[in-house]
Amino acid sequence: MTAPARTTVAAPTRRSPTISSSRKAMNNVMLGLCVAATALTLAVLAWIFGYVLIQGARHVNLAFFTNLPAPVGEPDGGFLNALVGTAIMVGVASAIAIPIGVFAGIYLAEFGVGWLAWTVRFVNDTLNATPSIVAGLFAYTLIVLETHRFSAFAGSVALAVLMIPTITRTTEEMIRLVPRALREGALALGVPEWGMTLQIVLPAAASGVVTGIMLAVARVSGETAALLFTAFNNRFLSASLNEPMSSVPVQVYTYAIAPYEDWHHQAWAGALVLVTLVACFSAAVRLATRNRHQSLT
Amino acid sequence: MKMRASHLTVRYGAKVAIKDVSIDIHANQVLALIGPSGCGKSTFLRSLNRMNDTVPGVSVTGQVQLDGEPIYGPEVDAVLVRRRVGMVFQKSNPFPKSIFENVAYGLRVGGLRERGAVADRVEQALRHAALWDEVKDRLHESGLGLSGGQQQRLCIARALAVEPEVLLMDEPASALDPIATAKVEELVSDLRDQLTIVIVTHNMQQAARVSQRTGFFYMGKLVEVGETTQIFTRPKERETEDYITGRFG
Ligand SMILES: Nc1ncnc2c1ncn2[C@@H]1O[C@H](COP(=O)(O)OP(=O)(O)O)[C@@H](O)[C@H]1O
Ligand SMILES: [Mg+2]
C-alpha cells in the first residue's frame, strides 16, 4: 500500500523542477517583454520631450508670454493671444463638458440599465472614437455656418464634444467602484438617494473623476484640428466668444508650416510651453483635489 | 410595543429568504436575533427599516408596524422610516470624511444647520458611543484612520446622532477584538434607556449578556421568541435547544 503511494507522490516531485524551471523561464521572458515595452514607451516620451525642450527652450523668453505676434523679421513677437485663447476656450469647454460628462457618468453608473442607458453608452463610445476633425466639423456646421463667422464659442463647443466621452466614462467607472456598504451607510441615515449620490458617492469617487477631467483637459489643450475651422485664429488679443480666437496649438501649426526661421523657433517655444503648462496644471489640480480620506481607487 | 412584524415574507427573486415571520419588538428593550448563518437574520433586520428596498429583485409581503403605523405601503416614505429606524452594519462603513463630518452629516441632512447645535450633537453622539475621549483631539482627521473598533463605534455614533427611535445592529461586533466587543456590548446595554434595539449576533453569550428577549431563526423561519433567560434555559422548541446546546449551527 505504501509503495505505490510513494511513487505517485514521487512522480510529480521528480517532474516539478522542470515544470517550475520552464515556468520561471516563461516568467522571465514575460517580465523582460514588459520591461522592454515600458522602457520603449519612456524612451519615446523622453525623446519627444527632450527634442521639444532642446528646440524650444532657447526661444522661450518673457516676451513670448507678454507680447502679441510680431510681423516677420521683427524681434520679440509672442504668444500672448494664443495663451489667453487656449485658456479661455479650454475653460469654456470644461464649463460645458464637466457637468454634462459627470452627470451622464452618474446616470450610467446608478441607473445604467435599459435601452436609454444602452444608447447613451453607445453614443458615448462612438463619440470617444471619433476623430477630432469630425467634432470640428460638427461645431462648424452647427455654429459657424449658422452665425456666418468663426468664433471662440464654436471652438469651445468642438472641444467640449471631445471632452464629454472621456469624462462620462471615467465618472461611470469611478462611481461603480464605490462600495455598496458606503451607499447603505448613507441610506440607513435617512438620506434620499440623490443626496447619497451627490454627497457620499461622488466625493468618494472624486479623485478618480478629477483624473478623468484632467485627461480630457490635457487632450483638448493640444487640440488643433477641431479648432482650425471653428475658432480659426486671431492675431490680436481677444476675449470675445463671438470673435475668432487664437490658440496655442493652432498658432504652433500656423508658425510651423510658414517659411520663416524665427516663426519656426516660436513654434517650438509654443510647443514646449504648452506641454509644460498642461503638465503643471494637471499636477496642481491633482494635488489640490487629493482626497485625504480616500480609501478606494 | 415599538414595532411589530406580521406575517413577513421576503423573497430575493424566487428565493424565499424569510417566511411568515411575526414578532413583537418591545420598547426600551434589546431584542437579540440568533441562528445559523444564512437563516435570514439580516434579511429580517433589513426589512425593519426598508433597507431591502434598495436591493434589486426583492419582494416583501406582510407588514411591519412602527408605533402602530405600517411602514410598507405606497403612502409611506422609506427615507422617513430610516430616519426613525437607524442601522449599524456588520462591517464598519465610515464615510470617507472627517470623524466630525461622519457624525454631522446625518444631522445636516435632517435639517440641523446651526453650527453650535451641530457641534453639540456630534459631541453628545460620540460620548454616547464611548468614543469621545479617544477622538476629541482629532475630530477633523479622517474617519478611515481609526482602528476597526473605533470605526464601528463611529458608525454607532453616526446612527445615534440623528436620534432614531429604534436601532438595528447586524452583528456589530463580529469583526472586532474582544476589548472592542466588550465596549460595544456595554454600549448596547446603556443605550436601552433611550431607544429600542434589535441586534443580530452569532454569539450566544453575547445575546445572553445584552438582550432581554431573544428570537431564534432557522431556515428562514422564526422558530421561537421569548425572554432571553427562558430561551437559553428552557427553550420550548427542540430546534432551539439543539442550536443553543451547540448540536448544530
Ligand atoms: N441580496 C441577496 N440576493 C439573493 N439572495 C440573498 C441576498 N441576501 C441574502 N440572500 C439569501 O437569503 C438567505 C438569508 O440570508 P441572510 O438574511 O443574509 O442570512 P443571515 O444574516 O442569517 O446569515 C440566504 O440564503 C442568502 O443566501
Ligand atoms: Mg447576516
Domain A62-289 matching CATH 1.10.3720.10: the answer reads yes
In this structure, the dihedral spanned by the alpha carbons of residues B82, B69, B16 and B231, taken in order and rounded to 10 degrees, is 90
* B 12-71 residues with CB < 8 A to A: 49, 51, 54
- Using one digit for the tens of pLDDT, what is the confidence trace for B80-117? 999 999 999 999 999 999 999 999 999 999 899 899 99
Question: 3-class secondary structure for B7-47?
Answer: EEEEEECCEEEEEEEEEEECCCCEEEEECCCCCCHHHHHHH
Give the span between the Cα atoms of B77 and B70, in whole angstroms. 11
Ligand nearest to the CA of B18: 1
Give the span between the Cα atoms of A255 and A227, in whole angstroms. 15
Q: Do A185 and B94 touch (CB under 8 A)?
A: yes
Nearest to B173 by CA among B247, B72, B92: B92
Per the listing, cell 467640449 goes with A160
Among A188, A200, A204, beta carbon nearest to B82: A188
Per the listing, cell 504648452 goes with A274
Chain A / chain B CB contacts < 8 angstroms: 77
Among A184, A192, A195, beta carbon nearest to B89: A184
pLDDT score of B249: 55
Residues A161, A127 contacting (CB under 8 angstroms): yes
Give the span between the Cα atoms of B102 and B139, in whole angstroms. 10
Per the listing, cell 447645535 goes with B117
User: Complex ipTM, two decimals?
Assistant: 0.92
- Using one digit for the tens of pLDDT, what is the confidence trace for A267-296? 999 999 999 998 898 888 878 777 655 544
Q: Do A187 and B51 touch (CB under 8 A)?
A: yes
| Residues that place a CB less than 5 A from ion ligand 2 | B 42
Residue among B8, B11, B12 to mutate when testing ligand 1 (max atoms within 8 A of CB): B12
Give the span between the Cα atoms of A57 and A268, in whole angstroms. 8
Q: Do B89 and A181 touch (CB under 8 A)?
A: yes
Nearest to A96 by CA among A51, A192, A160: A160
* CA B106 to centroid of chain Cα atoms: 17
Mean pLDDT of A28-53: 93
Task: Output DSSP code: residue A243.
Answer: S
Task: Output DSSP code: residue A218.
Answer: H
Question: 3-class secondary structure for chain B?
Answer: CCEEEEEEEEEECCEEEEEEEEEEECCCCEEEEECCCCCCHHHHHHHCCCHHHHCCCEEEEEEEEECCEECCCCCCCHHHHHHHEEEECCCCCCCCCEHHHHHHHHHHHCCCCCHHHHHHHHHHHHHHCCCHHHHCCCCCCEHHHCCHHHHHHHHHHHHHHCCCCEEEEECCCCCCCHHHHHHHHHHHHHHCCCCEEEEECCCHHHHHHHCCEEEEEECCEEEEEEEHHHHHHCCCCHHHHHHHCCCCC
**Interval between CA B219 and ligand 2 midpoint (Å):** 13
pLDDT score of A54: 94
Q: Is the pTM of this model over 0.80?
A: yes
Structural domain boundaries of chain A? 1-47, 62-289
Mean pLDDT of A98-125: 92
Nearest to B117 by CA among B163, B167, B168: B163
- Using one digit for the tens of pLDDT, what is the confidence trace for A126-183? 999 999 999 999 999 999 999 999 999 999 999 999 999 999 999 999 999 999 999 9
Q: Is B42 in the pocket of ligand 1 (CB under 6 A)?
A: yes
Burial of A25 (0-12, 13-18, 19+ CB in 10 A): exposed
Chain B CB within 8 Å of residue A190 CB: yes
Residues A165, A99 contacting (CB under 8 angstroms): no
Residues B81, B100 contacting (CB under 8 angstroms): no
Ligand 1, atom nearest to B15 Cα = 5
DSSP β-bridge partners for residue A227:
none
Q: Is B39 in the pocket of ligand 1 (CB under 6 A)?
A: yes
Judge whether residue A96 has pLDDT over 90.
Answer: yes
Domains of chain B, each with CATH number or no CATH: 3-244 (3.40.50.300)
